[in-house]
Amino acid sequence: MQDALRITASSIDPGLLALPWSTSLAKWPSEKIVSLPKGLSRHLVRFADLSGRVVAVKETTDEMARREYEMLGNLARLDVPCVDRVAVIAGRTDADGEPLPAALVTSHLRFSMPYRALFTRVLRPDTANRLVDALAVLLVRLHNVGFYWGDVSLSNTLFRRDAGAFAAYLVDAETGELHEEGLTDGQRAYDLDLARTNIAGEVMDLAAGGRLEHGVDAIAIADGIVSSYRSLWAELTAQESFSAAETWRITERVERLNALGFDIDEMSMSTTSDGTVVEIQPKVVDAGHHQRRLIRLTGLDVEENQARRLLNDLDEFRARSTKQWADEEMYAHEWLTRVFEPVVRAIPYELRAKLEPAEVFHQVLEHRWYLSQAQGRSVPLAEVLTSYVKEVLRHRRDEATIMGPPTETMSLPVITGANPVSDDDDDEVDWRDLV
């Protein structure tokens, strides 16, 4: 008697039953497949349309699929950047009753890209270094919650643009281990050494394929993750001693961590027997300092550097305001409705899959700075937006989901709450709501 199909899912989606689980993933029909760039993987991975959203389907063993499914759930509860789990499909058989591999289904992270898709022809050193820095931050966050990755690489990571930098997300947790008591120095060192080795190999592979800018040193790029990781880890965890008369150093340490995007929930402090020396050491450090402040003030959930940039603009808006409100939330609401949302609404409908709204806003601010510098005047935002849409955004490729010709199963994403604008051929946008 054949085993019945067994589905373990994080939420109920009837669309799971409509996917062709009795067919090997390599032979799925084209109408079920979504064309997206993939990173390198030891397993077969394909993207599919599930109830109007894109999911990644990976064939693997039943045991490994369930293990990774549980691990992704644990990481999500710890607020670690990773893909969302959807389901495990086990008990698969083909039309002849022959067993097929189990499948792990995860959500595709919108506006994310594998590292190979972040350049069109060659990888520039600046881009490579920013990718490595983002991966170093991710590795620190993982180690901080006691997660040993065991397969750190650019290929096992997705990247999203983050106000001139990148934010990294874990994709493959198959080899990972979660240690509640924390990681030993040896485990962290091994993960870091593995990251360096894998990155060097991945960059060399690009060089062999002619996709690396001439003169770029793959080893130097790989070494960058070691220095970035060590400096950030030291800032988050190092013990610091100072005179009892220098208690301002406590505030300074907190502010340095906040500037890096981290909050301290708990700190250990002690003094010497004569009270002349104070020692401090952060014990619980959470990432997302600027993200949490922006969500609290505006409800916008964006990447950390994007949140920092938006908050800077909000603070400047507040400083220029002639109103004397005591409540910061009132300024934030006015900035959201009079500055941020009009910029988002002004983007032509057909261009809204190019970049996510927060990244567009960041780039508009950058474009305003360059235009103002070039023209020697403060260029009005409406003029900046017209220039940005014509000269920059229209020439970018879509990064929301489709990065090649759209398939019949997919449509371009729409920014929630945005009003459609005219599909006229010219690039002029509607400034009626923009101040």
| Cβ–Cβ < 8 Å for 46, 29 | no
Q: How confident is the model at residue 407 (pLDDT cuts 50, 70, 90)?
A: very low
What is d(CA 215, CA 213) in angstroms, rounded to the nearest whole number? 6
Q: Which domains does the chain have, with CATH numbers?
A: 6-108 (3.30.200), 113-237 (1.10.510.10), 240-287 (no CATH), 326-395 (no CATH)
CB 7 within 8 A of CB 16: yes
User: Does residue 418 carry a pLDDT above 60?
Assistant: no
pLDDT at 400: 60
The whole-number pLDDT of residue 222 equals 93
Written as one string, the DSSP assignment of 252-295 is: HHHHHHHHTTEEEEEEEEEE-TTS-EEEEEEEEEEE-HHHHHHH
Write down the pTM of the prediction.
0.76
Q: Of 1 and 401, which is predicted with more confidence?
A: 401
Of 134 and 327, more confident: 134
Contact 88, 8 (CB under 8 A): yes
Confidence band, pLDDT 50/70/90 cuts, at residue 327: confident
Q: How far is CA 357 from the centre of its chain?
A: 14
pLDDT at 127 over 80: yes
Query: Lowest-pLDDT range, 78-82, 103-107, 262-266?
Result: 262-266
Asked whether the predicted pLDDT for residue 125 surpasses 80, the reply is no
Instruction: Note the pLDDT of residue 261.
Output: 84
Q: Summarize pLDDT for 267-278 with one digit per residue, the tens.
A: 788 887 777 787
* pLDDT reading at 433 higher than 80: no
- What confidence score (pLDDT) does residue 406 get? 35
Average pLDDT, the chain: 83
What value does the mean pLDDT take over residues 228-236? 92
- Span of 106-115, 240-249, 293-302, 405-414 with lowest mean pLDDT: 405-414
pLDDT over 60 (residue 432): no
Would the pLDDT of 425 be above 60?
no
Higher-pLDDT residue of 397, 273 = 273
* Average pLDDT score over residue span 15-32: 91
Mean pLDDT of 414-418: 33
pLDDT score recorded for residue 38: 60
What would the two tokens of residue 348 be? Answer: 């032509």
pLDDT at 210: 77
Q: Hey, what are 255's tokens? A: 């502010």
Summarised one tens digit per residue, pLDDT across range 150-184 is 999 999 999 998 888 899 999 999 999 999 889 99
Rounded to an integer, the average pLDDT of 241-250 is 80
Phi-psi region of 92 (alpha: psi -120 to 50; beta: other; left: phi over 0): beta
Return the closest-CA partner of residue 366 out of 430, 310, 424: 310
- Does the pLDDT value for residue 232 go beyond 50? yes
Average pLDDT over residues 208-233: 87
- Other C-beta atoms closer than 10 Å to the C-beta of 237 total 14
Rounded Cα distance between 322 and 213, Å, is: 50
- Give the H or E element holding residue 56: strand 53-60
Confidence of residue 242 (pLDDT cuts 50, 70, 90): confident
Share of the chain above pLDDT 70, in %: 88
Please, is 75 exposed, middle or buried when counting C-beta atoms within 10 Å of its C-beta (0-12, 13-18, 19+)?
Answer: buried
pLDDT of residue 40: 63
Out of 243-252, 294-303, 341-350, 362-371, least confident range: 243-252
**Quick one: pLDDT band at residue 427, thresholds 50, 70, 90?**
very low
